[in-house]
Amino acid sequence: MLSSIGYETFVFESPIGLIYCTFEGGFLIELTLSKGEKKSENFKINTKKITLSPRLKRMEREYPLFLHELSQYFKGKLESFRQPIKIKIGSSFDHKVWAALKEIPYGETITYKDLASRIGSPKAFRAVGNSLHRNPLPIVLPCHRVIASNGNLGGYSAGIEIKRWLLKHERSFL
């Protein structure tokens, strides 16, 4: 996780738990998915009404596009994000892997091996998995759409149950 100096973090309560959204200027620089943390009262996802705390009202004012997009994603009404992002970590290999994630269609999956081939490194499927584990923007850069060649889900930095939920969620809206 990045240092908080010069950054602003908001907590978004989602069906999969708390999502910490960190911004620098107008750019989203990090999303951190909680692993089974209790949900706060900051955000209640409801397809009819969204209730925002005063802090999230400020997020709505300062980062309305991303708050809207994240809400729409969890309602099944958004397939890709337009929020400007800035990647502040990772190697050039990581950046190639993360950029290729944007090309995986909503609700579909590819294998680690296929992703390695797409970036021109067909034998680097283990390195691809390591890069996905370091993905600073899960969901926005949809690493949950990458699975093992044998059809198993593989790993996920926020836990395999969240990966399973995200894939099922996306497929239910196709």
The pLDDT, as a whole number, for residue 54 is: 65
Calpha distance 127→164 (Å, rounded): 22
pLDDT of 59 over the 70 cut: yes
**Inter-residue contact 163 to 153 (CB < 8 Å):** yes
Token look-up 């397939």 returns: 79
Confidence band, pLDDT 50/70/90 cuts, at residue 57 = confident
| Residue 100, CA distances (Å) to 95, 161, 169 in order | 9, 24, 21
Higher-confidence residue of 49 and 135: namely 135
- pLDDT, one tens digit per residue, over 60-80 is 788 899 999 999 999 999 999
Paired residues of 51 in beta bridges: 44
Catalytic residue among 97, 143, 146, 167: 143
pLDDT of 154 over the 90 cut: yes
- pLDDT, one tens digit per residue, over 16-54 is 999 999 999 899 999 999 875 544 344 344 333 444 556
Q: What is the mean pLDDT of the chain?
A: 88
Confidence band, pLDDT 50/70/90 cuts, at residue 7 = confident
Collapsed DSSP state (helix, strand, coil) of residue 83: coil
The pLDDT, as a whole number, for residue 4 is: 53
Higher-confidence residue of 121 and 46: namely 121
Collapsed DSSP state (helix, strand, coil) of residue 110: strand
Q: What is the DSSP letter of 51?
A: E
Calpha distance 55→93 (Å, rounded): 36
By DSSP bridging, strand 17-24 and strand 27-33 are antiparallel
The pLDDT, as a whole number, for residue 127 is: 98
CA 113 to chain centroid, in Å, comes to 21
Q: Is 21 a catalytic site residue?
A: no
- pLDDT, one tens digit per residue, over 78-91 is 999 999 999 999 99
If you average pLDDT over residues 146-164, what whole number do you get? 96
Calpha distance 12→105 (Å, rounded): 24
Token look-up 């994603």 returns: 73
Q: Dihedrals φ, ψ of 168, to 5°?
A: -65, -40
